[in-house]
């Protein structure tokens, strides 16, 4: 999803020298293959968009995969970048790696100041390791590598798999199927009370380009909208988007996750960037993409996954 959005945005900006490999062509968990790719392509700038991601169920049932795959991907990308002379690297963290009970809105300095949300602890630990590696590279090699912390992402190219998806594509597919099957009710996980912030993936791509040109600092930069909704409100908005008019019920035996998660985006505002896409518009755009790709719930993939760019 992120790689596809980066392709779209950089193409819109006139870049013609973006290179990369689909995950089926290059396994970034393989250090030798990753190093070879860097030596063959010699990128000047890399956006580390590749990761193993998933919703609560995927994180809960496969934590070993999440910590192992993500650490290997990050180490291979960053080691190869340093060894081949990459001058600029943007590492993508995630808002879900902040402490579970961080003060809201979450400031960048809250990282590693408290316990993590247990349902995604393995993923969070891996991503924190990547941020620590970027900091170590800046300190040891003096390279202007930076970290970005996006809010929960959604948009074209998302994973709509019923079992592994995040909340927006998961609910979108569930309500879509309910309309198709004429169901009178849909049951959602948890209480619906947690509050979440969502960022349209094309806005993230634009923010990445902006920060590569505007920021060189030790601390991560939050990228979000500065606005949040309850999961219940989100479900109602998605139901409206897909045309579902039945009952929405809540299974309180399932976990809610972090009570609230919204990013403080003052640093980003000061750097001259803010999100443009409203949640309602983004949901409509995402559903239109889903309708065009519903035979393949993972969607099409962009030939550039790792966001390496020359020049």
* Residue 95 assigned as binding residue: yes
Query: How many helices (H) does the chain have, and how many strands (E)?
Result: 10, 13
* Residue 4 assigned as binding residue: no
* Residue 185 assigned as binding residue: no
Residue 297 annotated to the active site: no
The pairing of beta strand 152-154 with beta strand 229-230: unpaired
* Residue 193 assigned as binding residue: no
Rounded-to-integer distance, Cα 5 and Cα 11, Å: 10
Rounded-to-integer distance, Cα 32 and Cα 247, Å: 52
* Residue 166 assigned as binding residue: yes
* Residue 92 assigned as binding residue: yes
Residue where the block lists tokens 């590598």: 145
* Residue 189 assigned as binding residue: yes
Of the residues 15, 98, 123, 244, only one is catalytic, namely 123
The pairing of beta strand 152-154 with beta strand 198-200: parallel
Backbone angles phi, psi at 258, to 5 degrees: -60, 135
Nearest CA to 149 out of 190, 112, 193, 192 is that of 112
* Residue 191 assigned as binding residue: no
* Residue 293 assigned as binding residue: no
- Which residues are known binding-site members for NADP(+)? 92-95, 127, 166
- Which residues are known binding-site members? 92-95, 127, 166, 174, 189, 196, 256
Active site residues: 123
- Which residues are known binding-site members for substrate? 174, 189, 196, 256
């Amino acid at each position: 999803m992120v790689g596809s959005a980066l392709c779209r945005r950089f193409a819109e900006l006139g870049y013609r020298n973006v290179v990369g490999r689909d995950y089926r062509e290059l396994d970034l968990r393989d250090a030798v293959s990753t190093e070879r790719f860097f030596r063959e392509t010699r990128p000047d700038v890399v956006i580390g968009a590749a990761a193993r991601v998933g919703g609560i169920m995927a994180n809960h049932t496969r934590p070993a995969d999440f910590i192992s795959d993500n650490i290997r991907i990050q180490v291979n990308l960053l080691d190869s970048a340093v060894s081949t002379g990459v001058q600029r690297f943007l590492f993508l963290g995630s808002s879900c790696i902040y402490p579970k009970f961080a003060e809201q809105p979450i400031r960048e300095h809250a990282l590693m100041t408290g316990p993590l949300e247990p349902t995604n602890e393995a993923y969070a630990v891996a991503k924190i390791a990547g941020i620590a590696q970027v900091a170590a590279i800046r300190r040891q090699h003096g390279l202007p590598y930076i970290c970005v912390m996006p809010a929960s992402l959604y948009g074209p190219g998302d994973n709509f798999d019923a079992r592994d998806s995040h909340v927006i594509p998961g609910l979108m597919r569930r309500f879509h199927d309910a309309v198709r099957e004429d169901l009178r009710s849909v049951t959602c996980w948890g209480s619906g009370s947690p509050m979440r912030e969502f960022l349209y993936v094309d806005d993230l791509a634009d923010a990445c380009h902006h920060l590569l040109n505007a920021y060189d600092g030790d601390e991560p930069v939050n990228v979000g909208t500065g606005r949040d909704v309850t999961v219940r409100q989100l479900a109602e908005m998605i139901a409206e988007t897909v045309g579902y008019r039945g009952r929405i019920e809540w299974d309180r035996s399932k976990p809610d996750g972090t009570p609230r998660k919204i990013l403080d985006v003052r640093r980003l505002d000061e750097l001259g960037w803010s999100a443009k896409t409203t949640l309602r518009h983004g949901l409509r755009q995402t559903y239109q993409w889903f309708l065009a790709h519903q035979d393949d719930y993972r969607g099409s993939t962009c030939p550039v996954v790792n966001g390496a760019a020359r020049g």
